[in-house]
Amino acid sequence: MGLWCALHILLCIGFLLNECVGLVLFPCRATLRLDMSAAASSSVRDADSVRVQVVSDFACPWCYVGKARLGAAIEAFERSSTSDGKGRARVQVSFSPYMIDPRTQPGGEEYLVYNKRRWGGDGWTASLKRSSKKDGCDFAKWETWPNSLLAHRLQKFADSAGKGDQVNSLVFQTIYERGGNASDLETLVSLAAEAGLSPAEASAYLSSREGEEDVLQDDHTAKTELGVTGVPCFIVRGTGGRESGSGTPDDAVGGGSVGGAGQSEIVLNGAVAPDKLLRAFESVRRLG
One digit per residue, the tens of pLDDT, for the chain of length 288 reads: 454 444 444 444 443 334 343 333 333 333 333 344 444 433 333 456 899 999 999 999 999 999 999 999 999 998 887 655 566 788 999 999 999 999 999 999 999 999 999 999 999 999 999 999 999 998 999 999 999 999 999 999 999 999 999 999 999 999 999 999 999 999 999 999 999 999 999 999 999 999 999 999 999 999 999 999 999 999 999 864 332 323 333 333 444 543 343 458 999 999 999 999 999 999 998 876
If one counts every other C-beta atom within 10 angstroms of the C-beta of residue 101, the result is 16
**58 phi and psi angles, rounded to 5 deg:** -60, -25
Q: For position 238, what pLDDT does the model report?
A: 86
Distance CA 191, CA 63 (A): 19
Q: For position 48, what pLDDT does the model report?
A: 60
Distance CA 146, CA 112 (A): 12
Angle formed by the axes of helices 199-207 and 185-194, nearest 10°: 150
Span between the terminal Cα atoms of the chain, in Å: 23
Domains of the chain: 2-287 (3.40.30.10)
Q: Are 52 and 268 in contact (CB under 8 A)?
A: no
If one counts every other C-beta atom within 10 angstroms of the C-beta of residue 190, the result is 17
The counts of H helices and E strands in the chain are 13, 7
